[in-house]
Structure 1
Amino acid sequence: MPQKRPSTPSWRAPLAAGFLLLACSIASAQWVWKEGDRKVFSDTAPPASVPDKNILKRPGGGSAPMPAPAAVAPASTETGAASPAGAAPQAAAPQLPTVDKELEAKKKQTEQTEAARQKAEEQRVAQARTESCNRAKQARATLDSGVRLATTNAKGEREIMDDKARTAEAKRLDDVMRGNCGPMPKSGPQ
């Protein structure tokens, strides 16, 4: 008969998982320092209020305190004086680009696209105005020629224009020509 294996208590599995999580979090932390009686594990540097003697581990596995940055003597640009003779020259801090080149390129491309779209829209409007002006001028010339004109009413019947209808049509055509035959009206704030 097979021998039964004693079952493990149910508290062991969560405890083992907890230890594994703690070990993983400790291993991934780059900084370790003491705050009072407890140790703090973090991937960011400790606050400035933590003294160097309490920092137990630094990024890259170093546990020794990092040297404090040397004080830089201000160089006089007016007199051309440099730092003292015994001082080692300090490397200039790398300058971060003030403008993101990719962002500027996208912004410029967007502005160019918008300008091209606006120009195309202005050309379309100008062409529509020109066509409307030409049609109104042609209709006005026909109206002024004295030729009998006919229109179609709502029932689809043909009606000859009387003097009242001709005057109303002449006024309408004048309004169309006034709006479309002159220079393009300015749009936007002035």
Structure 2
Amino acid sequence: MRSLQLCRTLSVLTIFAAMAQPMMASARSSNQIASRNTPICYVQFSGQSMRSLDRLCGVGKKSNMIDLTIDRNGDGVPDQLLAAIRTHRAAMRSARSSEDYQMAQQKLDAKLPYSNQVKQLQAQQRQLQKQLKGATRSQRRQIYRQMDPIQRKIYQDPSYKKIQREISKAYRAMNS
């Protein structure tokens, strides 16, 4: 019985030590952190490497990627995605040329958390689209034939499908 109480006490102390560690880590100056390349907020158990909690603590480098997991109001639509689509819609409305439209679309695409495969395929598409300018009719047909399988691969990617579902939800929420 006594050993059970001792184990419980040690467990509680271990938890408190783990909780205190991030507080001590976050108290360091930013110069020390930058020079040592360690997370600002972390947990480290004895004999194990540090586990960064920077993202959970809201510190560190901010990613420009849209986080599809944050839905503070519980409406089923990712908050950051909804904001990005509103910005995108405004940019599309104010676009004056096809280049403006393409830039607005590329800005949104750059923030969406697509897989690396989708990003590579989109880059291939952009290269082919650049070739369309000044191309003859037969050259354009050839370029479109090259773009077709690329587009099919993009449509089949799970990350693309998921993001498109979330975008549809966001547009439905904006239009309701």
TM-score bracket for the superposition, by shorter chain length: under 0.3
Larger Rg: 1
Using CA pairs under 8 Å that are at least 6 residues apart, name the structure with larger relative contact order, 1 or 2: 2
What TM-score results when the alignment is normalised by the length of structure 1? 0.20
Structure in which a larger fraction of residues adopt helix: 2
Structure in which a larger fraction of residues adopt strand: 1
